[in-house]
Each structure stands twice: as C-alpha cells, then as structure tokens.
Amino acid sequence: MRKSRKYIMAVAGAALFAIALLAICIGIICQRERGMPLETFSGYLEKLCREGHRSQLEQYVISRRLSLDEAAALAESIPHMAGDAPPIPNIAAVGICVLAADVNGDGLEDVIEYAPAQDDEGANMLAIYLQGKEGDYRLSCSQPLLDTNIQWHAIIEVVKYKKNIYLLFIPRNEQSRLIACRLSEGVPRDKMELTYVCRDVKAETIFCLEGYDVERVLSRSVHYYHTADYYHCAYDARRRWRPMECGSGETEIDREEWGNIKELFNNKYREERQPYLQKYGDTLINITAWGFTDVFESDMNNNGVREQYIKTLERLGFEENVGLFTGLPIITGEYYGSHEGRRGLWYCIEESGEEMDFLDMCGLDIWEGEMTPQFFWVEETDQGNITCIIYQDGEEFKQRVDGYFIQDKSYEKVFSVLYTPEISCRTTFYP
C-alpha cells in the first residue's frame, strides 16, 4: 500500500511537471508566434536593402496619401482629426500626413493621421480611425507622443506582407533608417527599427583603355560612393555640408572670382523650369545658386582655355510649397524623363562668358542611360585632362564611374568602373 501511494505520488508529480513544462513551451511558442510576423517582415526588408531591390516593396503598399483638400473634407466628419484646430490652417501650417488604407481587412478604407506633437519637440502624434459600414469613423488608436522622430513628409506607407499589416516610416533624406509598426485591428502591437551602413564598396573595372590608370577610382571607392550619395547610410554624414570632390585637374575658386557663373546657372534652371511652374502653379519650389559654394575651374575639353562651372547634387523634380515647410515631391512625368524624382547632377559650365553643357561641349548626353549622373570631377593625366562622371541606378544602390577624354568637340570613354555596396544591417525590436 505504501509503495502504491509513492508510485501514485511520483506519477502525479511527473504529470504536474509535464503540464508545467508544456505550459512554458506553449508560452514560448505563442510568444514566438506573436513576434514572428515582424521578424519575417524585417528579414524581407534586410534582404531588399542588401541586394538593392527596395522598389520591390511597392507591390505590397496598400495605402494612398490624401491631398490637403481630401484631408480637410474628412476632418469635417472625424471630430478629433487634426486636433481641435481648423483643418486646413493646421495641415498647411505644421504639416500632417493623412493616409487612407484598409488596416483591418474589412474592405473599407480607414484613416491614419500622423503629425508633429503639439507639446513635445521631436515627437509625433499618431491616430488611426476605423471606418464603419455607415461611413462613420471610430478612433482605434491614439498615441500623442509616438517616438519615431520622423517628419510628416517622409515616406509613410501602409504595407500588407504575408497577411499582416505594417505602418512603415522611411525618412526621405535618411533612407538607411526604416521603422515599421505591426498593426492589428487598427492598433500598433510591436515595432522594429532597421538601420544599415556600408561595410565596404566593391569596385570592379568594366574596361580601361591602355595607358589610363584607374587605381585612384578603385582605391577610393568608399569615398567616391558616399560623395555621390551622402544620404545612403551613416557613413560620414557630415559630407553633405562639404564641397564636391575636387580632382587633380581642377581647382576650387574663391567667391571673388566667380564672375557671372551664378547668374548663368540661375538663368539656365529658371528657363528650364518655367514651363512647369506655369503649368503646375506656384506650389512648386524653385532653386538658385546663391547659397552654393562649389565653383571650380579646369580645362575640361583640353583646348587651352579653362572653364568655370558649378556642380551640385539636388532632387530632379519639384516639391510642394507649404509655407515654411518643404512639402512632398511632385512627379510630373515630364521633367528629366526616367530620372525625375531621383537625386542627380545640377551643373553649369561657362567658357568665355557663354553657358554650355556636356552636349554642347562634346556631344555627350549624360542623361541618355538609365543610370542618373550624380557629380563629376577632372583628373590630370599624361594623356590630358579626364572628366570623371559618377552615375547611380534607379534603386540608388549601384554606381558607375566613367572617364571621358574630351577634345575637339568630341569625346572618348577611356574607362568604366562599377561600384557595388556591401551592406551591414542592424535590427532592433520593441514591444
């Protein structure tokens, strides 16, 4: 009898232990399952960033950004939207991102409002309104101090990936930082932040004519890559405030010696953009050379006369003008062709008082390919001055450096080097 009781107690203890162990395992599994969707999505984002295919994410975007008029109309039926201030002045003055997307899978467009927090510098307000069958809205989420530190005119989208819904934030000028919040029934459940930086930039010589040396282009690949794309990652972020690259065959000139190069630059782009300003209205922001300090001098075409030129890197397109704030990019489909909306080369070359470009100088059309020119510099060689131009692909990932010998109003490509970044990613998860 005593043995039987001990046996029963042993069995009962083992059973209790097994139940406890099972409960722990189930808890771990459930916890993993709760976190797995976000981990899966972050893994997908990492893959896109490492391989330079971030545009593939567009196929999963299910949101659309509402215009000011659309947002103002919605604010009339959503009492708490845009705070208690009048909708249009509030939106135009401080900037608000309003998205429409089905975030709970019921087939109805819901509304996401994202705006600077009124009482906390650097924080933002997030509100999500779910649409009912009668066209009414109810507040499903209100976070007055959302810790993203990302401005309202950033890339903000709702993404549906493998049946899960995510709210994605990407700064326009700091795209190496991605923040995603997983939504469930219109409520953020967990958050991740992905950042990346270049481990290295692989340089590969595509071709090089005999007698020309590409060692400098190969050995300084990391430097040249981030001069062309200073927003690519955290590598030397201060470079955006430094002058453009100065080659051995050119010199940077003082302001007192600029002559009329500023006026030529401004006239060139004023005339180029005027038809679009007239067509799309004064909401488009123009640009001038008054603040530029990157003015150089060189005998680019090897004719014994030194040219002066401005070279800078700017967005190829237009932006909304909303008071003191820079607005959203406007893609016309007409400006710079396939290059519109990308960052690219703005420049002006002056020789003997006349403005010219590469096409006028030597017949070189730097915009004819799919890759977008970023900047150029001039190197002195035994064969003469070589103009080096960096191009970047539409994914803002790979770059190509082409060297041109320019003379007698013609050119010859003398070398070509391909840059491919090697990306290191870091992901942080938040409950």
Is residue 130 one of the residues assigned to a domain? yes
Q: Are residues 48 and 158 in the same domain?
A: yes
* Domain limits for position 288: 200-424
Q: Are residues 211 and 338 in the same domain?
A: yes
Helices (H), 159-295: 215-219, 221-228, 261-280
- Closest by Cα among 415, 360, 362, 407 to 390: 415
State pTM to two decimals.
Answer: 0.84
Res 310 pLDDT > 90: yes
What integer pLDDT is reported at residue 313 of this predicted model? 87
Is residue 20 one of the residues assigned to a domain? no
Task: Determine which of 41-45, 180-184, 241-245, 409-413 has the lowest per-residue pLDDT on average.
Answer: 241-245
Q: Are residues 261 and 406 in the same domain?
A: yes
Is residue 359 one of the residues assigned to a domain? yes
Q: Are residues 173 and 295 in the same domain?
A: no
Q: Are residues 220 and 262 in the same domain?
A: yes
Cβ partners under 8 Å of residue 252, min gap 6: 243, 246, 294, 295, 296, 297
Is residue 216 one of the residues assigned to a domain? yes
For residues 229 and 374, the answer to whether their CB atoms sit within 8 Å is yes
For residues 328 and 98, the answer to whether their CB atoms sit within 8 Å is no
Is residue 3 one of the residues assigned to a domain? no
Helices and strands, number each (H, E), in the chain: 7, 20
Q: Are residues 276 and 410 in the same domain?
A: yes
For residues 323 and 93, the answer to whether their CB atoms sit within 8 Å is yes
Mean pLDDT score of the chain: 84
The structure tokens 């029963």 sit at 8
- Provide the number of structural domains found in the chain: 2
Q: Are residues 65 and 154 in the same domain?
A: yes
Q: Are residues 224 and 178 in the same domain?
A: no
The pLDDT confidence band at residue 419, using thresholds 50, 70 and 90, is very high
Helix axes 68-77, 87-94, angle to 10 degrees: 140
Backbone φ/ψ region at 185: left (φ over 0), alpha (ψ -120 to 50), beta: left
Q: Are residues 120 and 262 in the same domain?
A: no
The pLDDT confidence band at residue 365, using thresholds 50, 70 and 90, is very high
Backbone φ/ψ region at 140: left (φ over 0), alpha (ψ -120 to 50), beta: alpha
For residues 325 and 116, the answer to whether their CB atoms sit within 8 Å is no
Task: Determine which of 14-23, 209-218, 391-400 has the lowest per-residue pLDDT on average.
Answer: 14-23
Task: Determine which of 43-57, 284-298, 375-389 has the lowest per-residue pLDDT on average.
Answer: 284-298
Is residue 269 one of the residues assigned to a domain? yes
Last residue of a domain, one of 153, 185, 217: 185
Reported as a single tens digit per residue, the pLDDT across 53-72 is 999 999 999 999 988 778 88
Last residue of a domain, one of 185, 214, 232: 185
Q: Are residues 246 and 335 in the same domain?
A: yes
What integer pLDDT is reported at residue 394 of this predicted model? 94
Res 289 pLDDT > 90: no
Is residue 116 one of the residues assigned to a domain? yes
> Rounded CA gap, 418 and 420, in Å?
7
Last residue of a domain, one of 135, 160, 185: 185
Q: Are residues 137 and 282 in the same domain?
A: no
Query: Of the spans 27-41, 78-92, 289-303, 304-318, which averages the highest pLDDT?
Result: 304-318
127: β partners: 113, 142
What integer pLDDT is reported at residue 110 of this predicted model? 96
Q: Are residues 268 and 170 in the same domain?
A: no
Is residue 99 one of the residues assigned to a domain? yes
